Structures are given as C-alpha cells and as structure tokens.
Amino acid sequence: MRTSIMLGGPSSGENDSPEPVYLLTRKRVSSIPPPPAPDYAGTAAHDDIVAKRDAVRATVRRRSMRFVGVLGLGLALSGIVGVLKYPEARREVLSWVTMGHPDQAAQVGRRMESLVAWLRQR
C-alpha cells in the first residue's frame, strides 16, 4: 500500500500551482491489468449469460448446503440412537423429558401397550 500526500500552499506567483492539492488515498498497485470488458457487455445476450451463471451458482450452493444440513441432522439422530441403546440413558432421558415424573410416563406407556395388545386380538 502506498499513501500519497501532496500539500500545496497559497499561490504566490504565476508559475505556482493554481490550487492546493490534498490527495490522501491508499492505492493498491497491481501488476496484473483488469480483464478487458467483452464487446457484448450490456446487451440482452450478456444479461442472459450472467443470469444463467448466477442461477447455476445459486442452485449448486443451495443443494450443497441442503446436503450438509441433512448430513448433520442424520449424524445427530444416529448419535441420539446410539446413546439411547443403553437402559440407564433411556431412564435419564425419560426423567428429563417428563420433568422428574418418569413413573407416571411409564404407567401411561404400559396402558398404551395393553390397549394395542387388546386391539390386535380383535
């Protein structure tokens, strides 16, 4: 980065600069020139090409983010299933979900089990 500062004072004669110059800019000097603008820039064909390119980029980005999200959810669910394999963990989760009343929830579960068994016999 380069900082240019040019200060000029009031004009004292005919050969001096007519106005003071205060140039405080930071310019990044690059040895690579910018690419030339295509001849068709600003035309309808160019606008269509740019719109299609942007649509493809958005579609690829959207699909990849959806894939990452689904993968993350799948991994989280598989981790939960892995933890719930253990009876102690199931009891603790039931206690936490029912806010300290796992016995009442287990009683409701047994009632539902007997109802399902009764319906299957019919």
Predicted confidence (pLDDT) per residue in 88-113, tens digit: 999 899 899 999 888 898 899 999 99
Cα 106 → chain centroid: 42
Report how far residue 81's alpha carbon sits from residue 66's, in angstroms, rounded to the nearest whole number. Answer: 22
d(CA 73, CA 48): 37
Number of domains, the chain: 1
7-63 per-position pLDDT tens digit: 555 555 555 555 555 555 666 655 666 666 666 556 666 677 777 777 667 778 888
Range of the structural domain that residue 97 is part of: 2-32+41-109
Residue 26, classed as helix, strand or coil, is strand
Pair of tokens at residue 92: 């603790």
Contact 7, 22 (CB under 8 A): yes
Flag whether 116 is in a domain: no
CA proximity to 11, closest of 19, 23, 21: 19
- Does some domain include residue 66? yes
